[in-house]
Amino acid sequence: MTQFAPIFSALRRHRLATALIALEIALACAVLCNACFLIVEQLRALHIDSGVAESSLAVINLGCDGCKGADLNARVTTALRAVPGVQSVAVVNAVPFAQPTGYAGINLDHEHFIAVPHFYAGGPGAVETLGLQLVAGRAFQPEDFQTAELWLPQNPSVWITRAFAERLWPGQDPLGKEFFSDQHHFRVIGVMAHLTPPDPGGGHGDSAGEWSVFVPVNPGASLNGVYALRANPGDLPRVLREARDAAQKAAPEAVLDLQQSRTVPELRSDFFRQTRIMVGTLAGVIVALLLVTALGIVGLASFWVQQRRKQIGIRRAIGATRGDILHYFQAENFLIVTVGIAIGMVLTFALNLVLMKFYEVPRLPVYYLPVGALVLWGLGQLAVLAPALRASQVPPMVATRSV
């Protein structure tokens, strides 16, 4: 069994080199744990359930100053329904991954704001067109669709997501509950499985990205210019091209926003482009950092093997086996890496606190630390293996040579 006393004695004679490698391990630990955590969070965001029938949805976005909302909606929806392949059309204010239009703070007591959800507004047929899934409560009735002059009706009945219901009334039945936003009074009549805001993770809601409210509204002055259309996924690109042309012909005075008039899968891909780049960058940083750390360990271990050839030969001459020499260098590396990991755990939480304060990153789960430690211990043992094997090949006769 390897004795640790000689190892500590040797490390004390090489304090600077040992400290540098331990600090390199500590930095690697801090970056590895936080970068892996960020990658997992970003991958979770990439796979968020939008709550709508994405593969079958496209959106047409028109801008028209001075247009009468009811007239514009009538002309455009009629033209869009006439496009071959269109299954349904509805007037909405937004769709997931498009431009957000309806964030507002809400409260439960007319005084203290508790959350900032996104309010989706949709006309008759919007629920079916979007493919929203009701898991509790009742469907909207014709009388639920009220007219709003500025933004939303004063006292609408609404659907909210299951995640938002849990945020407002943890462990309670949300049906029949009420909440407020300025002069607006909302009553919950339904709970949706999912409905992400247009910009999930944009800082307005929770980390799950599902603080959403759906409000039924009669299209008109406050709801016009944005049209969701549904078609078979295979026909959707062709349907969208023809729908763009049809909308422009129906409303030549309006301006078609090409950037926002796309399929929902295209909007999703564009929205998460920076996220994919970030994941790739973080993965590259992790690989580069681990490679540099491994090279540092290899370089230091190789240097020590070269410096200690005579001592290794003496140990071989007095009975140490090749396995003893191999285990000595592995144990030495294990101690250095362990010290680095211990320092790195402190740095990991410090870095996470900085990210939480300035970038709204969630708290790092504790289980990332043992995982990171295992990775670094394994990396250390692999990196030191080649120099340790070379050391074990040093013959006993080296002890008889002059230094």
**Strand ranges in 3-162 using DSSP code E only, listed in sequence order:** 57-63, 88-91, 106-107, 113-115, 118-122, 134-137, 157-161
Q: Are 129 and 220 in a shared domain?
A: yes
Over range 209-225, report the average pLDDT. 89
Q: Are 246 and 120 in a shared domain?
A: yes
pLDDT of 207 reads 42
Question: Taking the mean position of all CA atoms in its chain, how far away is CA 373?
Answer: 24
Query: Sign (positive/negative) of CA torsion 85, 87, 90, 95?
Result: negative
Pick the last residue of a domain from 245, 272, 299.
Answer: 272
Question: Taking the mean position of all CA atoms in its chain, how far away is CA 94?
Answer: 22
Pick the last residue of a domain from 272, 294, 323.
Answer: 272
Q: Are 254 and 138 in a shared domain?
A: yes
Portion of the chain with pLDDT greater than 70, in percent:
94
Residue 112: pLDDT band with limits 50, 70, 90: confident
pTM of the model: 0.82
Q: Are 100 and 204 in a shared domain?
A: yes
pLDDT of 3 reads 58
Q: Are 111 and 132 in a shared domain?
A: yes
Total domains in the chain come to 2
Across 13-27, 53-67, 83-97, 235-249, least confident range:
13-27
Over range 325-338, report the average pLDDT. 90
Q: Are 139 and 106 in a shared domain?
A: yes
Residue 28 phi, psi dihedral angles, 5° rounding: -60, -40
Euclidean distance between CA atoms 182 and 310, whole angstroms = 82
Q: Are 64 and 211 in a shared domain?
A: yes
Q: Are 183 and 312 in a shared domain?
A: no
Q: Are 170 and 109 in a shared domain?
A: yes
Residue 199's domain comprises 54-272
Q: What is the pLDDT of residues 154-173, one digit of tens each?
A: 999 999 999 999 999 999 99
Q: Are 38 and 143 in a shared domain?
A: no
Token couple for 246: 């049809």
Euclidean distance between CA atoms 374 and 380, whole angstroms = 10
Residue 203: pLDDT band with limits 50, 70, 90: very low
Q: Are 134 and 233 in a shared domain?
A: yes
Mean pLDDT of all residues belonging to the chain: 90
Euclidean distance between CA atoms 400 and 250, whole angstroms = 98
pLDDT of 1 reads 43
Pick the last residue of a domain from 254, 272, 290.
Answer: 272
Over range 67-76, report the average pLDDT. 90
Token couple for 236: 């959707």
Q: Are 226 and 357 in a shared domain?
A: no
pLDDT of 325 > 80? The answer is yes
CB 63 within 8 A of CB 254: yes
Q: What is the pLDDT of residues 142-158, one digit of tens each?
A: 999 998 877 899 999 99
CB 73 within 8 A of CB 220: yes
